[in-house]
Structures are given as structure tokens and as C-alpha cells.
Amino acid sequence: MEEEGEVEECKFRILMFPWLAHGHIFPFIELSKHLSRRSCFHVYFCSTAINLVSIRKHIRNEYPTIQLVELPMAASPELPPQFHTTKALPPRLWPNLLKAFQESSCSFQDILDSLKPDFLIYDFFQPWAPKIALSRGIDSAFFAASGAASYAFYYHMYMEGTSSTFPYPAIHLQDYEMIDFGFRKSIKDAEDNEFLFGNFALSRDVILMKSCRAVERKYIDYLSDICKKRVVITGPLIADANEAYPYDDEEMLAKIMEWLSGKSKRSTVYVSFGSEYFLSGDELGEIAKGLELCDANFLWVVRFPSEEKTGRIEEAMPKGFLDRVVERGMIVRGWAPQTKILAHRSIGSFMSHCGWSSVMESMYFGVPIIAMPMKSEQPANARLATEVGVGVEVGKSRDGRYTGEEMAKTISMVMAETPFCEDLRNRAIRVSKEMRENAEGEASRVAEELQTLCTNKKKKTTTTTTTTRRNHEYK
């Protein structure tokens, strides 16, 4: 246990249990903050020790009703404690991490028995968690950190078959995407079904989802209809870009902000492919070519697995590239403050892998998206951004590869001062305005929903206990 302390009896105790990826953890953190601002909740936040180090910086002393709880996970020579997170995890160790996480269920049982929470909010990769909770009389809800469009698409294919037609044709996969992302195999593999959609069945009454009706209204309604559960949206759950978190690398933060401030308004492309996807040498080369062929400034965040040595940027880039773009390009290794960057006046577009958190953040800050989906649900997210009118997807070659020429063409389309570009920006600004206006109300409705579920559970438990006692006394 990370921190001890008495919890007032009047508070409902909520246990947050996200998967070990930062793209999952941070929505859980922001939801925890919203709940902690209401006097009726005490939040326990459970993760591995390495993740708690960064989580603590975002919780700090401002949220005394959020209590951090360590999930013990067995270390091994192949998976030492610093790899008990997906951040910078070498791809070859991903199966090891997932296996170790599944084997932590006994530790999780101990946590439940110790804390005795009133309610569990769990994530995609641990369908065993709500089962354990239910065995102890604890209700739970699945919190989906991905959007409604992708979930509705995949759930439809699960129910109707991969040859069926999704009712909203804007969301689709190319044949090579279905193969590359293992979609057909996943749908047919019975062992995966519990991970894919068993989480929906295990969730009590509602599904919580990081989404906004301004963006995904029809997909939220359709998903609710086909999964037979109410989908309660949390809003975008974006961290305040102005909040003064104690960053690990304050010097780099200052350097990035100074560089951006030297660029004119909307002149710069922010390029990032998330914390878990590592570009191949060919992909790095094509992106470099695309950025060199266009005229825009760019801030490019390049990540390598943590086991690779520093200094790789110079080796990874095409010969002479860094010298040729020195006046208009900045390349950052490993980390960058994404919300601060997207909120900066000089950013005109976001070249993104279209992970859901990145898509939501880009929309929230009114930044048009240059979509380059790489895996998983990202193609559906990219097509949603295009349908909403805030993004343009980079075309691929016939064999499914991105080329520098196509990237440069799309960057120019999004960044050039043309009627198309102006319309794209205006739509992004409108979506941003609507998301911001509704964000607090959406998060408040989640809190009200959880309060109702916990209250009803307590009433039911009290009634059952009273009836049992009376029956015992009668006998």
C-alpha cells in the first residue's frame, strides 16, 4: 500500500485500476481529479511502482482524497521493475509485461480485501478484476479510454461478422489494415473475446467512455444500442496546459517553449507518434523526407525503446537532414509536454498516429490533424477526425506504406493559406469550443452516475442485512 489514512464514512470509496500505459493512466487520473473535487468520493488509484512515480507528480497535495496504491508485480531478469509500464518498453517485452500483469491478480485480490472499496473502475486488459470484485460483492464499471466510433465499429463486426456493413461508412478498415492489425484473428479467437467485449458484459449497468457528444454522438448511441448498456461519457479529460507540473526535464521544457515562441502563429507542425510506437528506420526516413519537402516549421518528437542508447537521432536521420532543416525544425528525443505544445499559438497542425488521447487533445485545442494511423484502433480514429472535418489522412502507397511525398502533400494542404485550410481551422475551432463548453457538465454527470450506483448498492446491502438479521431473530 502506498499511503495509509482514514476515509470518512460518508465518502464512497472508488478504486481506479487502469492498464499500465500512459494513454490509459492519464484519463483515469483526470477522472479521479473530477471525482475528488466532490465531497462524496475518496479515490484509490492503483498501479505499479514505476507508474506511481509519475502519477504522484500529477496528483500532488492538491488532491488529498486521491490515495495511491501500489500493485505488486513480480520482477524477473527479462522484466525488471523499470519495465512495469509500457512507456519506452522494448516491443519484444510487451508479451512479458502483459503476462506479468495477468499474474498480478492475486495481489489485486489482497488490495480489494484491504481497501474494501464501494466501486471499481477497471480497464481493457483486466477482465479478471471485475470478476474478483463481484466475488466480494463489489460492483464495477468498465472505463474505455478509446472512443465510441472505434468501439462501435469493432463491436458491430464482432456481433455481425467481418463481412457485414457498418452503418456509418466513414469508419472503415482497408483489407491490409484488417490483416496488419490482426483484426480478423482477434474477432474469431475465443480466448480474446473476454478482452475484446467481455469487459462490456462484466460492467455494471453502464460503460464509462472518454468521449464527447459533440464529436461522437451517433457512435455513442449506436454502441449503447448494440452492447445493451448505457454509455456514459466522461468528456475529453484533458489536463490543464497551464498547470505547473514538476516535469522531469524542466530545461527541455523551457527550450521547447522558447523555440516555439520564436515562430509565427500557426506556422509549425507538431509531429509525434505516441509513447508506445517506435518508428522503423524506413518510417523515420520517409517522415524526414516529407518534412524537408514541405516549407513548414516542425517540432518532431522521436522516441526509441528505453534499452537503446542515447544519441540515436543523429544516426537515425538521413545524412545531412539535420543541417538542412536547422532553421525551421526542432527534434526532441523521448519526451515533450504535448498539451503545452498543442496549446501554443505557433502550432498549426498535429501530425499524429491518432491514438485516442492525441486525437482528443488536438480537437480540444483546436489544432487540425494530419492523420497517420499505425495500428490498433487508430485508423478508425483517423477516419473519425476526417469525418468531423478537423483532419486529413495521409495517403498510402499500394503496399500500405507512407511516403515522404504524400506527407509533404498533406502538410501543404493543411498548412497553406487557402480556403480549404481556413475552413479546416474554423471547424477545428468550433469543435474545440463545443468540447470545452460541455466538458465540466459531462464529467459531473459521471460523478452523479457513480454516486447513484454507490447509493443504490448501499441501500440494497443495508436492506438485505436488515432482512437477514430479522429472519435470524425470528428463528
Task: Give CA–CA dist 119/110, Å, rounded.
Answer: 16
Strands 119-122 and 329-333: unpaired
Cell of 178: 484488417
Active site residue 118: no
Sign of the four-CA dihedral 321, 327, 333, 338:
negative
Residue type, 356: W
SS (H, E, C) 218-249: HHHHHHHHHHCCEEEECCCCCCCCCCCCCCCC
Cell of 135: 466475488
How many Cα atoms sit within 13 Å of 40 on the Cβ side? 12
In this structure, are residues 255 and 183 in contact, taking their beta carbons and an 8 Å threshold? no
Give Cα 222 to chain centroid, integer Å. Answer: 21
H or E element in which residue 382 lies: helix 378-388
Given 22, 24, 42, 156, the catalytic residue: 24
Cell of 87: 512507456
Q: Rounded to 5 degrees, what are φ and ψ at 171? A: -100, 115
Active site residue 123: yes
Task: Give CA–CA dist 17/253, Å, rounded.
Answer: 30
Task: Give CA–CA dist 35/169, Å, rounded.
Answer: 37
Cell of 12: 464512497
Q: Cα dist. 73→1, 32, 99, 114, 307 in Å?
A: 13, 23, 10, 17, 21
Cell of 382: 483517423
Q: Is 396 helix (H, G, I), strand (E, B) or coil?
A: strand
Given 22, 34, 118, 123, the catalytic residue: 123
- Residue identified by cell 475465443 is 190
- Residue identified by cell 460503460 is 207
Residues annotated catalytic, as ranges: 24, 123
